[in-house]
Structure 1
Amino acid sequence: MPAMPVLHDSTAAREIDRQATLALGGDGYVLMQRAGMAAWRVLLQRWPQAQRVLVACGSGNNGGDGYVLARLALQSGRRVRVVHPADGGPRTPLAQRACTEYVAIGGHVDVFPAGLDDADVIVDALFGIGLAQAPRDGTAALIQALNDTGAPVFSLDVPSGIDADRGSAPGAAIHAQCTLQFIVAHAGLHTGAALDHAGELLLDPLEVDATRYEGSAPAAAALLAAPALRAWLPRRRRDTHKGQSGRVLCVGGDHGGGGAIVLCAEASLRGGAGLASVATRAGHVPAIVARCPEVMARAVEGTGEFAPMLEAAGVVACGPGLGQDEWGGALFRRVLASGRPLVLDADALNLLATASHALPVPADAILTPHPGEAARLLGIDTAIVQRDRFAALARLVDRYACTVVLKGAGTLVGAPGQVPCVLAAGNPGMATGGMGDLLTGTIAAMRAQGLPAFEAACAGALLHGLAGDAAAAHGGQRGLMPSDLLPWLRHFANPGDE
């Protein structure tokens, strides 16, 4: 696996903070002052013309960071107001110390609903990583009022109201334009609802080397970004032939589903597979050949015609347009029994969720569910999946003992014994029918080219996300179609040629 930026959960973040404080002689105020100063630097860079600064402070140490920033802003000549909820005055010793120093130089503290004067920028220092439930009524009302001002919001460490571990918003939550994380990056801010609340994510280590504490504070996840592709997709040798790039068999396309399976096959070729075959209904073969003559499409109306195709396949991508009737079910059972590396999506996952279909043990398989499919695979509600995507991923990996790609905002990839990966690519324009079929073929192409299952899933998801971002940048997100990504898949599949 290539080196990737690491993400931590709140337990690890607290442990690193504790050990860093001990290394500094036990005075946590040193780190608090560094955090306030780091935040003040960002505010000056992002909003240099801001003269009216409103700082919303909570009762804990995140509020203390806000009081430090407020003091620095006041000392610089800005007009500063600090506001806190009625039950949210400083309570920790460090926050009280920071508040006292702010007040000592003439700083003023208001209790909400007072204090919400016009501001050029709002600093959100209400909650840090400690949020475990929805904000209470008074704080929720303050959060909503801050969002309603229309002023840009700058969050310290975590947008208040967002769960830093899960990425969910159990209640009212700040919508920030920018969030500055301290010491470590938080896993939850890269997936789920957090992506709509955090804005641009920045990180200041506060002069702390978090890698020193890996033994007692391991990473919760790794961040999948474009540089990783170079390690997975090196420049090809001059004497490469198609057989060395693998053969993908795409299985699906029941009546009315031919488009899904051809998208899957085209993506496998654009992703670099040497050969792509399609097993589908007879009525789809002419259209597939006309659209993409490079795909070897064959009519399969019974499992007898299917056996030679399975025998020749290096990787099987099954599910796009498959359907859940007898035709699709029969092909799916043969796929499961084939012993071939599998990428399963769409109706293959719906069939897998029923009691009559099960993965062999062990299984060389990659599952690619969206949240609804994940919920069916786990027998739970979709809302539960979205409330804690990391937990849902872990349950899927444990139940099916294979690699899983949990799609959605902040796609997650997990596998037995692996640190999960979070995708730093993709956009809302990709929320349209057929994108998953494209992802299935892309991942199958990575597997066909020799990558192990987990790395193939990571590389395929990253390639797909980058292609989606590039396609959206050249025409906008609304109206983006899966076929728009095909040229960009080819582009990003060749990072060594740039």
Structure 2
Amino acid sequence: MVPHFSNVGPLPEVDTQTMIEVDRLMMEEFQISLFQMMENAGRCLAVLAREIALDGAPEDKRVVVLAGGGGNGGGALTAARRLATWGAKVCVVTAQGRDRMGDVPKAQLDTLLGLENVVEMSVEDIGVPVDVILDGLIGYSLKGSPRGPAARLIEWANNHRAPTLALDVPSGYDASNGTINEPAIQAAATLTIALPKLGMQTRGATSHIGTLYCADISVPPQLYQCLTPRLDLAPIFQRSDILCVRSAFHQEL
């Protein structure tokens, strides 16, 4: 049985440029660091994975995390660390070497790999079973279709029987215009950060978004009033850090 998360209904959507500005304001005006945002996003993704994909019991379940070198990858690695501390067996697959990762995601990777129930490997070496795949390959900064190792990892996830949970956007989804590139993750559920990205709430995106959830990363409501155009958004996370924005009724985990 899939646990119930509070249903918030449609929310305002933001594009890539707006999210860049949200991140800038968070760090420069509100003194909320990338590390803090990453921790909040990762904790929410870990809770969602535990509740909807791991039957509320992560111990001895097998989690594969696909991580890029940016903030989205760092958030997925943070989620994997949480799940590992809850007893899950974690396999880490990165789309690039450490020399091409940002400082904060690289630190998250090093911390994760220090845990005894975590291994780093290629997807060719991952056996079965796998209980859930965490997609943190490409975030809202995507430009053009995924290429190289990221594209191959997307195809691997789409061909695997285990459900994929995407962080913020399914890798391959272009948040600047709401289009889906090829290849793109076909997620069972997407946990978008702060607010849904452009086009996510349309039914045409359901095959790649899955059930759409929204995560609280502690964006102050007054921050949205600093945007152009201004968003007058009441606090939406008073009762839960995770909200269900739109269900994909035909999909089950």
Q: TM-score range by the shorter chain?
A: 0.7 to 0.9
Alignment-derived partner of residue 167 in structure 2? 156
**Conservation of the 8 A alpha-carbon contact between 2:46 and 2:79:** yes
Alignment-derived partner of residue 145 in structure 1? 156
Q: 1:186-229 CA deviation, whole Å, 9 max, x = no partner?
A: 11323485332000111112221345333334379xxxxxxxxx
Alignment-derived partner of residue 439 in structure 1? none
Alignment-derived partner of residue 10 in structure 1? 16
SS at match of 2:218: coil
SS at match of 2:176: coil
Alignment-derived partner of residue 112 in structure 2? 102
1:65 to 59, 71, 75: 75
Q: Distance in 2 between matches of 1:73 and 1:131?
A: 27
SS at match of 1:197: helix
1:165 to 146, 157, 176: 176
1:45 has 2:56 as partner:
no
Q: 1:133-170 CA deviation, whole Å, 9 max, x = no partner?
A: 11113221211111111111110000011112322222
Q: Distance in 1 between matches of 2:215 and 2:93?
A: 25
2:214 to 184, 203, 208: 203
SS at match of 2:170: coil
Alignment-derived partner of residue 102 in structure 2? 92
SS at match of 2:205: helix
Q: 1:252-292 CA deviation, whole Å, 9 max, x = no partner?
A: xxxxxxxxxxxxxxxxxxxxxxxxxxxxxxxxxxxxxxxxx
Distance 1:90 1:99, change over 3 A: farther
Alignment-derived partner of residue 86 in structure 2? 76
Q: Distance in 2 between matches of 1:116 and 1:163?
A: 31
Q: Number of aligned residue pairs: give it.
A: 223
Higher helix share: 1
Q: Distance in 1 between matches of 2:206 and 2:99?
A: 29
SS at match of 1:142: helix
Q: Distance in 1 between matches of 2:100 and 2:128?
A: 21
Alignment-derived partner of residue 22 in structure 1? 28
Distance 1:90 1:114, change over 3 A: farther
Distance 1:210 1:17, change over 3 A: farther
List alignment gaps of at least 5 residues for structure 1: 221-423, 428-472, 477-498
Please give the residue correspondences for 1:228-377 in structure 2 after superposition, counting only pairs within 5 Å: none
Distance 1:144 1:34, change over 3 A: same
**Conservation of the 8 A alpha-carbon contact between 1:16 and 1:217:** no
Q: Distance in 2 between matches of 1:170 and 1:211?
A: 34
**Conservation of the 8 A alpha-carbon contact between 1:163 and 1:188:** no
**Conservation of the 8 A alpha-carbon contact between 1:85 and 1:111:** no
1:133 has 2:144 as partner:
yes
Distance 1:76 1:11, change over 3 A: same
Q: 1:97-116 CA deviation, whole Å, 9 max, x = no partner?
A: 11111122233222444446
Residue identity opposite 1:158 in structure 2? V
Alignment-derived partner of residue 238 in structure 2? none
Q: 1:14-35 CA deviation, whole Å, 9 max, x = no partner?
A: 2112212235535310111011
SS at match of 2:209: coil
Shift of 1:86: 5.0
**Conservation of the 8 A alpha-carbon contact between 2:43 and 2:82:** yes
**Conservation of the 8 A alpha-carbon contact between 2:170 and 2:184:** yes
Shift of 1:80: 0.7
Residue identity opposite 1:52 in structure 2? R
Residue identity opposite 1:132 in structure 2? K
Residue identity opposite 1:163 in structure 2? D
Shift of 1:128: 0.8
SS at match of 2:200: helix
Distance 1:186 1:174, change over 3 A: same
**Conservation of the 8 A alpha-carbon contact between 2:131 and 2:162:** yes
Residue identity opposite 1:185 in structure 2? P
Q: 1:222-255 CA deviation, whole Å, 9 max, x = no partner?
A: xxxxxxxxxxxxxxxxxxxxxxxxxxxxxxxxxx
Runs of 4+ in structure 1 displaced over 6 angstroms? Answer: none
List alignment gaps of at least 5 residues for structure 2: 1-9, 232-244
Q: Which has the higher contact order (CA 8 A, sep 6+)?
A: 2
Distance 1:10 1:219, change over 3 A: farther
Distance 1:203 1:16, change over 3 A: same
